[in-house]
Each structure stands twice: as C-alpha cells, then as structure tokens.
C-alpha cells in the first residue's frame, strides 16, 4: 500500500511524540531523520505517517488532517478521562454525529487541529 505523509510543524518534537504516541495512543514512533525531524506511523493504518519537524507554525483555524478510527465514541470516552501532560487537548465536548458518520476534534501541543472520524457502513 502507498504511504500518505502529512507534514506538521511543531514547537517541540518531544511534546508532539508524547502527545500522539502516549496520550492519544494512535501513533507509534517510526523514524528519526535528525535535524529535529521524526515520523510517526498510525497504529491502525501503517500507510498514514505524520512527519513532525520543529519550525515556524502557521496560524490556521483549519483542520490539518483527518484520521479514521474504529469507534469515535470509544476514543472520545477514553480521551475525555485522560489528563494530558502536554498542552494538547480534546476540543469536542461531545461526539459530533452526521448522516455519514461521527467525528471529534483535537488540538495538539503546537495548536495543530485535526479530526478523528468514523464512517457509517450502509
């Protein structure tokens, strides 16, 4: 399967890795490229990779990526109970349900916003 690589700027590689791998538990460390750049692989989809590098962040209110999960409700319930060590946080106060599925919004320690989603199977 072909890889999808999403490039994200971050204030701290250490905080980003802690957030995505330990706090969210959705990614695992993949590779260290040096020069403050690492990649993380999605646990449930090895073709999805985050390439994290330190640098100047763009101030945007847009969601930078979306990642499908098996259950938005279970993920939301787990994250709602978690005390984040980093400045990352759950933005959603409830699971958003729409005709084709569900989603929850999250912000990482560097203020990058993204969605976790679940699609309904007809």
Residue 122: pLDDT band with limits 50, 70, 90? low
Q: Which residues contact 121 (CB under 8 A, 6 or more apart)?
A: none
Residues 116, 78 contacting (CB under 8 angstroms)? no
Q: pTM for this one? A: 0.90
Residue 36: pLDDT band with limits 50, 70, 90? very high
The pLDDT assigned to 56 comes to 81
Judged on CB neighbours under 10 Å (0-12, 13-18, 19+), 82 is middle
The pLDDT assigned to 61 comes to 84
Residue 1 clears pLDDT 80, i.e. is over it? no
| CA 39 – CA 105 distance, rounded (Å) | 22
User: Would you tell me how many other CB atoms lie within 10 Å of the CB of residue 108?
Assistant: 24
Helix, strand, coil content of the chain in percent (nearest 5)? 15, 45, 35
* Residue 31: φ, ψ to 5°: -155, 145
């Amino acid at each position: 399967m072909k890889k999808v690589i999403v490039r994200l700027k971050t204030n701290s590689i250490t905080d980003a890795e802690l957030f995505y791998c330990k706090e969210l538990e959705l990614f695992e460390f993949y590779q260290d490229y040096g020069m403050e750049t690492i990649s993380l692989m999605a646990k449930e989809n090895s073709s999805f990779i985050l390439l994290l590098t330190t640098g100047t962040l763009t101030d945007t209110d847009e969601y930078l990526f979306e990642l499908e999960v098996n259950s938005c409700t279970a993920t939301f319930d787990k994250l709602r109970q978690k005390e984040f060590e980093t400045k990352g946080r759950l933005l959603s106060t409830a699971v958003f349900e729409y005709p084709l599925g569900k989603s929850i919004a999250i912000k990482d320690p560097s203020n990058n916003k993204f969605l976790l989603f679940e699609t309904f199977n007809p």
